[in-house]
């Protein structure tokens, strides 16, 4: 049984390592999720930035796709956000499996001037049982969860998640 050691470690490669702030002009981008159904950080959704008290930095987000660590597209969804509605993704892909590990998210946002921007960045979908079982080390200090987000201050500790204790 030699194949097991070949497939486990790349799944979480550089998990939470993408802290590029370029995308954050329009949306807040948590880079970590824990889709385990406990209600904390379970789903991906777009969180718009506010330009001032009444104006958000983007007016729409759409054309969402997700790639795994091998660059394979594993999920697509047309709509993510509009002024009237937001659509979430629960990390379930075709066949009912959960997407875990390092995932690249791609989607478009339209800014206040009507210009479209392509956003692309990596997030980490963590299942603690999976991480512990495979003895994977993730630098959690680099992980930013949705529940750490204060819309006025940005990402703040502590997360309410009990992470892989
Ligand atoms: Ca969770």
- pTM, two decimals, is 0.88
Tens digit of pLDDT for each residue in 26-66?
A: 999 999 999 999 899 999 999 999 988 889 999 999 999 99
Look at residue 59 and tell me if it is in a domain.
Answer: yes
Question: How far away, in angstroms, is 38 Cα from ligand 1 center?
Answer: 5
145 CA from centroid of ligand 1 (Å): 10
Of 16, 13, 29, 44, nearest to 141 by C-alpha is 16
Ion ligand 1: protein residues whose beta carbon lies under 5 Å: 34, 36, 38, 40-42
- Location of structure tokens 């995308």: 23
What tokens does 103 get?
A: 């995932």
Give 79 Cα–ligand 1 centroid separation in angstroms: 23
Tell me the pLDDT tens digit for each residue of 90-142. Answer: 999 989 999 999 999 999 999 999 999 999 999 999 988 888 888 888 888 88
Q: What percentage of the chain carries pLDDT values higher than 70?
A: 88
Residue 160 lies in a domain: no
Domain count, the chain: 1
Could you tell me if residue 6 is inside a domain? no
> Is 66 among the domain residues?
yes
3-class SS at 161? Answer: coil
**CATH code for position 84:** 2.60.40.1080
CA dist 122 and 105 (Å) reads 6
Question: For residue 161, how far is its CA from the centre of ligand 1 (angstroms)?
Answer: 7
In this structure, the chain runs to a length of 165
Residue 5 lies in a domain: no
CA distances from 74 to 10, 37, 63, 163 (A): 16, 20, 14, 26
How remote is the CA of residue 40 from the centroid of ligand 1, in Å?
Answer: 4
Total Cβ atoms within 10 A of residue 58: 23
**Within a domain: 113:** yes
pLDDT surpasses 70 at 150: yes
Task: Identify whether 163 is part of a domain.
Answer: no
Q: What is the dihedral of CA 147, 24, 69, 148, to 10 degrees?
A: -10
134 within some domain: yes
Structural domain boundaries, residue 143: 16-155
């Amino acid at each position: 049984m030699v194949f097991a050691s070949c497939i486990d470690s790349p799944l979480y490669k550089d998990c939470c390592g993408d802290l590029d702030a370029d995308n954050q002009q329009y949306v807040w981008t948590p880079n970590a999720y824990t889709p385990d159904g406990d209600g904390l950080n379970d789903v991906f959704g777009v969180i718009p930035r506010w330009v001032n008290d009444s104006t958000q930095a983007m007016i729409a987000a759409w054309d969402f796709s997700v790639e795994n660590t091998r660059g394979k597209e594993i999920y697509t969804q047309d709509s993510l956000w509009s002024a009237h509605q937001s659509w979430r993704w629960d990390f379930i892909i075709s066949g009912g499996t959960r997407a875990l590990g390092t995932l690249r998210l791609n989607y478009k946002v339209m800014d206040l001037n009507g210009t479209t921007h392509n956003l692309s960045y990596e997030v980490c979908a963590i299942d603690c049982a999976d991480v512990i079982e495979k003895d994977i080390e993730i630098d959690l200090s680099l992980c930013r969860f949705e529940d750490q987000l204060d819309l006025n201050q940005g990402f703040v500790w502590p997360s309410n998640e009990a992470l892989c204790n």
